[in-house]
């Protein structure tokens, strides 16, 4: 039972983040859509027989409306007390609070269950029930439904959300875990050609910690025949974005750019989880793409020396220049990877993701039509200004913006670590400002570039004078 969340709790602190991510213009679907969505769960006859059974907990006296008076006892047609107990309940909540509270929990579900396409849950009060749906395009909900007056629909809602069918629950069933009793190996089924890759359980799975957005998940694995390391990447793009597979195909053979082995496009679309006539202004359909890439090891957050870190950014800049027909539009430390080579120092000329790339020869008008995406912390001053209310300097994004983003990524790492593998307890205030999309972020970055004066969090005893000169 999820009741009120105390002020000051970690969950409550997440509410503003959830609100910013999902926005407050929540789409409410009509009851006809909800009824049709769950109609095939059970036949009318089966539900009618269940409701007429005293063990169902539903009582209807002559001349009166029916009411649920207790939880179901035993099991009939797959409906049991456990089904109802598995449903998340909120004693009382407004529309916004329901999204905030349940969005916090569903966000964790997406993180802990990376093969999720969507998450659905119910809000149940004393008399009413409401369905809430979360996916990479955002959130929608039904209006409140009186479950005493609509017992059949309530039964269908409970059955669907407790179904043993993983696809109905929102899981991507092309990703399955099996455990070999002898070896203990876990495998993931991926790729359009149904190749079963061995999931590398010693490597951490990367999951983008958000609900709305690209929903990127990266699965380290090995090819079952060749044994070579691969990275299986799932991500969701909007209709205005070209498939990452097109960009990866264009940069094949360029040293330092992720090399694609295969891909499977149009794995799923979020528009198929909504009414066909959905015209909500906040909704943008997202399409799921899966690509299989050569695996390049860990990203630059895992640097082993100052030299290695600086060399990584040098090599990444070299790679960005080599792939001059594309602009990445997003740079961060999470997108620069090391390439291990036997008998050699590890190289780092690997820019591993192009899901936010654009063609460099697009016109200014074409590029500016795309909404700006990516982490604000690494966006250039010009891009931040173009996203402001006054839409200043709405210029086409090019390689100069990419270079500026590399600079911010390097600064972030230098001010994050006080020594190798140890982070600063306090975050530099200007980095907090950089992570927002307002005038303060662009002003702070412009000030830092012209005259970086905030050295309180700079650990000279580790980084030395040379790194300080590098970023000034």
User: What was the pLDDT predicted at 271?
Assistant: 94
What's the chain's Rg over C-alpha atoms? 26
Would you say 294 and 229 are in contact if contact means Cβ atoms under 8 Å apart? yes
Which sequence spans correspond to the domains of the chain? 10-161, 185-273+282-295, 298-472
Local structure of 442: helix, strand or coil? helix
User: What was the pLDDT predicted at 120?
Assistant: 94
Q: What are the Cα distances from residue 106, in Å, to 100, 109, 238?
A: 10, 5, 22
SS3 content of the chain, % helix, strand, coil (to 5): 35, 20, 45
CATH superfamily of 298-472: Transferase(Phosphotransferase) domain 1 (1.10.510.10)
User: What was the pLDDT predicted at 373?
Assistant: 57
Q: What are the Cα distances from residue 185, in Å, to 166, 174, 182, 197, 315?
A: 22, 18, 8, 11, 35
How far apart (Å, rounded) are the C-alpha atoms in residues 136 and 138? 5
Would you say 168 and 161 are in contact if contact means Cβ atoms under 8 Å apart? no
Consecutive 10-residue runs of the chain (472 residues): their mean pLDDT? 47 66 78 90 90 89 82 65 56 68 88 94 89 92 92 92 92 78 50 71 84 89 88 89 86 79 91 86 89 82 89 81 57 65 46 57 50 71 74 62 87 91 84 80 88 77 91 85
User: What was the pLDDT predicted at 356?
Assistant: 55
User: What was the pLDDT predicted at 339?
Assistant: 55
User: What was the pLDDT predicted at 253?
Assistant: 81
Which pTM does this prediction carry? 0.79
Local structure of 408: helix, strand or coil? helix
Strands 138-142 and 27-29 turn out to be parallel
How far apart (Å, rounded) are the C-alpha atoms in residues 349 and 352? 9
CATH superfamily of 185-273+282-295: Phosphorylase Kinase; domain 1 (3.30.200.20)
Q: What are the Cα distances from residue 121, in Å, to 32, 38, 45, 135?
A: 18, 14, 26, 12
User: What was the pLDDT predicted at 94?
Assistant: 67
């Amino acid at each position: 039972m999820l009741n009120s969340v105390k002020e000051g709790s970690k969950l409550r602190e997440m509410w503003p983040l959830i609100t910013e991510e999902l926005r407050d213009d929540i789409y409410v679907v009509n009851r006809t859509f909800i009824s049709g969505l769950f109609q095939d769960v059970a036949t009318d006859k089966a539900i009618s027989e269940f409701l007429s059974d005293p063990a169902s907990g539903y009582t209807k006296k002559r001349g009166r409306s029916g009411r649920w008076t207790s939880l179901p006892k035993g099991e009939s047609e797959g409906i049991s007390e456990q089904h109802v107990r598995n449903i998340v309940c909120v004693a009382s909540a407004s529309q916004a609070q329901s999204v905030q509270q349940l969005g916090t929990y569903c966000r964790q579900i997406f993180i802990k269950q990376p093969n999720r396409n969507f998450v659905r849950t119910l809000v149940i009060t004393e008399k009413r029930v409401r369905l809430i749906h979360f996916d990479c395009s955002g959130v929608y909900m039904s209006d409140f439904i009186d479950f005493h007056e609509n017992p059949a629909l309530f039964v269908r809602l409970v059955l669907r959300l407790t179904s043993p069918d993983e696809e109905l629950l929102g899981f991507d069933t092309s990703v399955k875990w099996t455990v070999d009793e002898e070896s203990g190996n876990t495998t993931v089924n991926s790729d359009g050609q149904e190749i079963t890759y061995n999931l590398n359980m010693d490597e951490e799975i990367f999951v983008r910690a958000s609900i709305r957005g690209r929903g990127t998940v990266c699965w380290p694995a090995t090819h079952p025949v060749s044994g070579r390391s691969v990275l299986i990447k799932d991500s969701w793009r909007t209709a205005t974005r070209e498939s990452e597979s097109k960009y990866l195909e264009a940069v094949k053979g360029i040293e330092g750019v992720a090399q694609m082995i295969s891909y499977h496009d149009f794995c799923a679309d979020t528009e198929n989880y909504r009414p066909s006539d959905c015209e909500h202004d906040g909704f943008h359909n997202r399409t799921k793409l899966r690509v299989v890439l050569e695996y390049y090891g860990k990203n630059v957050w895992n640097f082993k020396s100052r030299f290695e870190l600086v060399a990584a950014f040098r090599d990444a800049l070299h790679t960005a220049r080599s792939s001059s027909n594309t602009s990445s539009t997003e740079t961060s430390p999470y997108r620069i990877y090391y390439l291990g080579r036997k008998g050699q120092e590890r190289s780092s000329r690997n820019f591993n993701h192009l899901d936010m790339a654009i063609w460099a020869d697009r016109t200014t008008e074409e590029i500016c039509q795309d909404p700006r995406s990516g982490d604000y912390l690494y966006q250039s001053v010009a891009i931040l200004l173009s996203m402001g209310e006054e839409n200043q300097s709405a210029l086409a994004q090019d390689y100069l913006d990419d270079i500026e983003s590399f600079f911010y990524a390097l600064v972030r790492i230098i001010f994050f670590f006080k020594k190798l593998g140890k982070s600063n307890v306090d975050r530099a205030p200007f980095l907090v400002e950089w992570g927002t999309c307002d005038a303060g972020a662009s002003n702070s970055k412009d000030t830092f570039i012209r005259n970086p004066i905030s050295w309180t969090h700079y650990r000279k005893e580790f980084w030395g004078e040379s790194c300080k000169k590098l970023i000034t």
